[in-house]
Amino acid sequence: MIGTKSPAGRWVPWLLAVALWTVAYSSACTAWAEAEPTESKTADSDEQGEKPTISLSNPVQIVRDAGFLMYAIILCSFLLVAFTLERAVSLRRDRVIPGPFVSRFLNQLRNGDLDREQALELCEANGSPVAQVFAGAIRKWGRPGVEVEQSVIDAGERATNSLRRYLRVFYGVATVGPLLGLMGTVLGMIETFNVIAAAADALGRSQQLAGGIAKALLNTAGGLAVAIPASILYVFFVSRVDRLVIEIDAQAQQVVNCVSAEELQDKKGPGAKARRTGRPETVS
């Protein structure tokens, strides 16, 4: 059936995330390492009395200069890539609201080609979020419209929670990333000031102080580099889920109109209504 989820397909986004992150990081390390100035140039500059600078072209050197908290920021970047790919695949419209299934299912309901058991079997076989909401309405087949709508609301809440899964990861990365960077910066500055305070000629080594602060600020830069895209992705996926939920609700309302007791009585005619109430139909 269209839109059916396969257990093996759930691992595809994660495998793609690992492969993409590994290839991107390896390529960046290789390219930036080739562009890194040689150690001889750095030594010459130190001998000439030039101020030491922090390398921004070699990621390995950046991690070494920033300290151990940069590894936590790198882990946050990996989680960001992984969950971005997972949500991008899981929130595709044809996966959440498969068009062929929805159109065929609604047409068969309107034409009276499905009974309760057949319709419920189709919804369970499809397995998409919109099919789960449809199944909530089908289980109340022949009940008053208020009961059917309440069942759709309950099923819709469960489907919405499923669509919003892992979105807190983006919010968490956007919150924790700058905090990790700030903590790394504070620890780096404390270490730098301790080194300067212990030096005998600390007053004449302002360039050493500046270099230590620059290394400490690498953590803040790394945290912001992870938090900014995480915030953007969080807003993007939340808005996407809201649009999908609105469309699911509109489609489910059509199912309610087809399976509610009022609609079924109108299709059967006044004679069926009289038999349902147990009263003979009066003929004028």
Alpha carbon distance 241, 168 (integer Å): 13
* 154 residue type, one letter: D
Find out whether 171 and 252 touch, Cβ atoms under 8 Å.
no
Q: What's the mean pLDDT in 92-120? A: 89
Q: Say how far residue 274 (Cα) sits from the centre of its chain.
A: 53
Q: For residue 185, is it left (φ>0), alpha (ψ between -120 and 50) or beta?
A: alpha
Q: H/E element holding 22?
A: helix 12-35
3-state class (DSSP) for residue 125: helix
Alpha carbon distance 218, 245 (integer Å): 41
Predicted TM-score (pTM) of this structure? 0.72
Please return the burial class of 140, using the count of CB atoms within 10 Å of its CB with bins 0-12, 13-18 and 19+.
buried
Find out whether 67 and 219 touch, Cβ atoms under 8 Å.
yes
Token pair 């058991």 is found at 117
Token pair 């005998």 is found at 200
Token pair 């489907």 is found at 159
Which range in 1-15, 62-76, 247-261 is most confidently predicted, on average pLDDT?
Answer: 247-261
User: CA 161, 162, 168: angle at the middle one, nearest 5?
Assistant: 70
Q: For residue 269, is it left (φ>0), alpha (ψ between -120 and 50) or beta?
A: left
pLDDT of amino acid 41: 40
Predicted confidence (pLDDT) per residue in 5-59, tens digit: 444 455 555 555 555 555 555 555 544 444 444 444 444 444 444 445 555 556 6
Whether the pLDDT of residue 158 is over 50: the answer is: yes
Whether the pLDDT of residue 183 is over 80: the answer is: yes
